[in-house]
Amino acid sequence: MSTALETLRSCAFCPNTCRPSHAAQSPSQIESQTPSAMSLLALAYLDGRLSACSGVLEALQRRDAVRESRTHCTYGFDIDTALNAALAAPARG
Amino acid sequence: MPSVIESLAAHSEWRAEPLPAAAAAALGAIVGPANLLQSIADRYAYARDRLPWGLFQLRAGRLPATLPAAIVSPGSRDELVKIVEAANRFDLKLIPFGAGSGVLGGTLPLSCEVMVDLKRMNRILDIDEIDCTVRVEAGMNGGQFEAALAARGYTANHLPQSIHMSTVGGWAACRGAGQASSRYGKIEDIVIGLQAVLPNARLLEVRPVARRAVGPSIKDLMIGSEGVFGFITELTLRIQHLPEYEGGAVYAFRDLQSGLDAMREIVQREGRPSVMRLYDGPESRVRTEGIEAFKERPILGILKFSGPRGLALAETALAHHICSAHDALATDDAPYRHWEQTRYQSYSIKWQSAGYCMDTVEVTGTWRALPRMHARMGEAVRKLHPEAHFGAHWSHIYPEGACQYMTVRLPPMDHAEAMRLHGEAWRRLESICLELGGSIAHHHGVGVFRNDWLREELGAGLELLQILKDGIDPRNLLNPGKVGLRATPGAMSIAPGDVR
């Protein structure tokens, strides 16, 4: 859990160097599905800053861009796995 | 799904006015429901860009800006025109959004504006191999853009560190610079034409031709406008053939002045290396550890030569002659190779995630002023705190001067005190720059964080910009409060030193 949180903290403050891994042809190009945004949202949820009624849990299910970034992360993070581990713990909200 | 009202009640500490229902219906009808986002979570993700001050607030559990009212993603210029028409009908404030990699807060919502995410407009429209130009939509990712050009044997040679995390339109909107600027220029030199949607929804076209004499440059009103004068939708850029030859060289200089002199002489004698980088003592040390030549000559210079082989080799010889005349040693090219390997990475995350306050400030100075700028700015930052780090490098080199790119880093400490010192660092650096005749920004733009100093640099010029803004956007619909221009009444203010 703590490793997952550390990974999310690093990713949340990274400017998305993995961004080109998400295909330009993809119909969805929204910011909130990028790995860094997903990490930020997960941390805000786990800290209690975003409650479940914010739509955060639905947002955190949009994993396409996160999965595509797996082999493109400059720092070797697997954000999909980190999100699963962090969100598996009891959350506030 | 909870209603918007229920969601807001649970997050009442934020300013988060939602989109009025009629406006939401209108925008949804234009782009389709999937391309209009209104949940609190989606709006939270768009309530930041890469302004380090904003990151510090988020890290402390505070939101740096208001939530945007919504996010709308047009897939075409026609959809964008309809969005701007709707904004005029419903009095909606709009912020153009590319990839959010700006570091001056240019896309932060200050009064619950609607974010217009342009990343669906992301195609190359045409590559003209006779004119050597490319037409591209503004929302295309920079890394994908260069990859597509490379597949055809070309490059635009706009290669910023942020290339993979920024869009082509964003480069133009903030008047950015790439790492090969010393040879190919900044984005304003590379873009030759553009199309835009103005705040009244009219279309603007600047024809893609090499030069013109038709009055003041309309192109330059848009490049660097950070969205206050309109949405850039399409750009035409110069391109070059991929280089036949690329080679690097590393030099060790005895002191900073000899390094600066050598860089100046190379460009003043018409050498144009594609990359020119000179590092001060602190920045050289971390890049040259264990290399013998740097024990007596501690200042690192990195050069890269690109283009037709004969031309590049001639420039290599010219630069070597000049550096040698300044008693520099050509040495181990490990620093060049390391730079090549990491040139598009972000150095900040290990510090930011460890609680440091790290920021970068880039200014332009004349050759005459740069040595004093560096000495005085370094001293001013180091006096702030015993553990304050100040380092600088010069990597955009011109015959008349250079960009001084500074890294400031404060150790972990109480949030309020860190923000006070961080704000003071900004004040000292920008004030010294102005005092020594420099420009407060070389390529990061103004956003909202440099508003105060912009007034001092532009003087009556800022009044001209405000008159233009009032004329073209009398209701202040596009990105209000940015680039030193008037904010919406009641808008959140953001300035260095503020604590949320």
CB contact under 8 A, B10 and A51: yes
Please name the residue of chain A whose CA is at the shortest distance from the CA of residue B122. Answer: A24
Q: Do the Cβ atoms of A53 and B10 come within 8 Å? A: yes
Mean pLDDT of B359-378: 98
- Facing A13 at nearest CB: one of B2, B11, B352: B352
Sheet containing B124-128: which strands, arranged edge to edge? Answer: B124-128, B133-137, B231-238, B191-197, B203-206
Spatial separation of the C-alpha atoms in residues B379 and B290, rounded to whole Å = 27
Q: How far apart are CA B224 and CA B96, in angstroms?
A: 13
Of the listed ranges B67-81, B184-198, B347-361, the least confidently predicted one is B347-361
Query: Is the alpha carbon torsion for B11, B16, B22, B23 positive or negative?
Result: negative
pLDDT-derived band at A93 (thresholds 50, 70, 90) equals: very low
Q: What's the confidence (pLDDT) of residue A22?
A: 84
* CA angle centred on B138, ends B227 and B198, rounded to 5°: 40
Minimum mean pLDDT among A82-91, B35-44, B201-210: which range?
A82-91
The CATH T-level fold of domain B1-119+447-500 is 3.30.43
In this prediction, residue A90 has a pLDDT band, given cuts at 50, 70 and 90, of low
The mean-pLDDT minimum among A88-92, B93-97, B284-288 falls in: A88-92
Report domain B349-435's class: alpha beta
Q: Which residue has the tokens 């229920």?
A: B6
**Cβ contact A31–B45 (<8 Å):** yes
Domain residues of chain B, as ranges? 1-119+447-500, 124-241, 245-342, 349-435
Residue B19 has what DSSP assignment? Answer: P
What number is the average pLDDT over the span B223-237?
98
pLDDT digits (tens, 9 = 90+) for B74-84: 999 999 999 99
**Angstrom distance (rounded) from CA A35 to CA B161:** 19
Domains B124-241 and B349-435 are alike in CATH topology: no
Mean pLDDT for B310-317 is 98
Q: Which residue of A has its CA nearest to B75?
A: A27
H or E segment to which residue B452 belongs: helix B451-458
Residue of chain B with shortest Cα separation from A74: B345
How far does B43 lie from chain A, in Å, by closest CA? 8
Q: Are B349 and A14 in contact (CB under 8 A)?
A: yes
pLDDT of residue B185: 97
Asked if B187 and B175 touch (Cβ cutoff 8 Å), the reply is yes
N- to C-terminal Cα separation, chain A: 18
Residue in the structure block whose two tokens are 């999937």? B34
Task: Determine contact, residues A5/A42, Cβ cutoff 8 Å.
Answer: no
Residue B478 is classified by DSSP as: B
CA distance B295 to B307: 33
| Per-residue model confidence as pLDDT tens digits over B257-306 | 999 999 999 999 999 999 999 999 999 999 999 999 999 999 999 999 99
Looking at chain A, which residue has its C-alpha nearest residue B35?
Answer: A28
- The per-residue pLDDT for B389 is 98
Contact between B442 and B396 (Cβ < 8 Å): yes
**Which fold, B245-342?**
Alpha-Beta Plaits (3.30.70)
Q: Is the pLDDT assigned to residue B323 strictly greater than 70?
A: yes
φ, ψ at B465 (rounded to 5°): -65, -40
What is the reported pLDDT for B2?
47
- The position carrying tokens 């429209």 is B125
A76 touches chain B (CB under 8 A): no
Q: What confidence tens digit (pLDDT) does each residue in B418-453 have?
A: 999 999 999 999 999 999 999 999 999 999 999 999
CA distances from B218 to B194, B444, B483 (A): 10, 21, 17
Structural tokens at position B280: 């001060």
B8, pLDDT greater than 60: no
Residues B369, B399 contacting (CB under 8 angstroms): no
Residue B382 confidence (pLDDT) above 70? yes
Assess whether pLDDT exceeds 80 at residue B190.
yes
Q: What is the pLDDT of residue B184?
A: 97
Contact (Cβ atoms closer than 8 angstroms) between residue B433 and residue B386? no
Q: Do A17 and B345 lie within an 8 Å CB cutoff?
A: yes
pLDDT per residue as tens digits for the range B107-150: 999 999 999 999 999 999 999 999 999 999 999 999 999 999 99
Q: What's the token pair of residue B437?
A: 């005749």
User: To the nearest whole angstrom, how far is the Cα of B268 from the nearest Cα of chain A?
Assistant: 35
Residue of A nearest to B74 (CA): A29
Residues B457-498 have pLDDT tens digits of: 999 999 999 999 999 999 999 999 999 999 999 999 999 999
Mutation to test the A interface, candidates B36, B37, B40, most A Cβ within 10 Å: B40
Closest to B311 in 3D by CA, of B267, B399, B245, B396: B245
| pLDDT score of B455 more than 50 | yes
Mean pLDDT over A24-52 rounds to 91
- A81 CA to chain B: closest CA distance, Å? 19
> Left (φ > 0), alpha (ψ -120 to 50) or beta: where does B307 sit?
left
What is the helix, strand, coil percentage profile of chain B, to 5?
A: 40, 20, 40
CB atoms within 10 A of CB B389: 16
What residues of A are in contact with residue B344 (Cβ under 8 Å)? 17
Strand-pair category, B114-117 with B94-97: parallel
On the 0-12 / 13-18 / 19+ scale of CB atoms within 10 A, B246 is middle
Asked whether the beta carbons of residue A16 and residue B165 sit closer than 8 angstroms, the reply is yes
Judged against a pLDDT cut of 80, whether residue A91 lies above it is answered with no
**Residues recorded for chain B:** 500
Residue type for B63, please?
Answer: L
- pLDDT for B398 beyond 70: yes
Give percent of chain B above pLDDT 90.
95
Find out whether B84 and B93 touch, Cβ atoms under 8 Å. Answer: no
Contact B41 A41 (CB under 8 A): yes
% of chain A surpassing 90 pLDDT: 67
The residue ranges of DSSP E strands in B31-169, in sequence order, are: 36-37, 70-72, 94-97, 114-117, 124-128, 133-137, 154-155
pLDDT of B408 > 70? The answer is: yes
End-to-end CA distance of chain B: 30
Pairing of strands B114-117, B70-72: parallel
Task: Give this prediction's pTM.
Answer: 0.95
Q: Which one of 3.90.1300.10, 3.30.465.10, 3.30.2130.10, 2.60.40.10 gives the CATH number of domain B124-241?
A: 3.30.465.10
Average pLDDT over residues B330-340: 96
CB pairs under 8 A between A and B: 128
Q: What is the DSSP string of B278-334?
A: EE-HHHHHHHHTT-THHHH--EEEEEEEEESHHHHHHHHHHHHHHHHHTT-EE---H
Quick one: average pLDDT of B27-48? 97
Contacts of B482 (CB under 8 A, 6+ apart): B105, B106, B226, B227, B228, B446, B447, B448, B451
- Chain A hits for B122, CB-CB cut-off 8 Å, are 24, 29
